[in-house]
């Protein structure tokens, strides 16, 4: 892995502007993707590796 092309919250593809991709703040081993819509609505995400949940 190492690539993240889908939003971790809603599963939609990360296209256009406004999305963000970052390492999991808990384990640092998973890449979290968030689309613009989920960022604007503070939709929670869950790390697939450590199950960390956060906005
Ligand atoms: Zn999303
Ligand atoms: Zn994690």
Ligand nearest to the CA of 13: 1
Q: Facing residues of 34 across strands?
A: 20
Which ligand is located closest to the Cα atom of residue 16?
1
Give residue 1's pLDDT. Answer: 42
51 C-alpha to ligand 1 centroid (Å): 17
* pLDDT tens per residue across all 55 residues of the chain: 446 689 999 999 998 899 999 999 999 999 999 999 999 999 999 999 999 999 8
Q: Report the separation in Å between the CA atom of 29 and the middle of ligand 2, taken as the mean of its atom positions.
A: 6
């Amino acid at each position: 892995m190492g690539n993240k092309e889908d939003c971790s919250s809603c599963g939609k593809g990360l296209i256009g502007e406004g999305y963000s991709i970052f390492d999991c703040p808990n384990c640092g081993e998973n890449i979290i993707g968030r689309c613009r819509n989920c960022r604007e609505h503070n939709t929670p995400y869950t790390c697939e590796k450590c199950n960390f949940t956060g906005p």
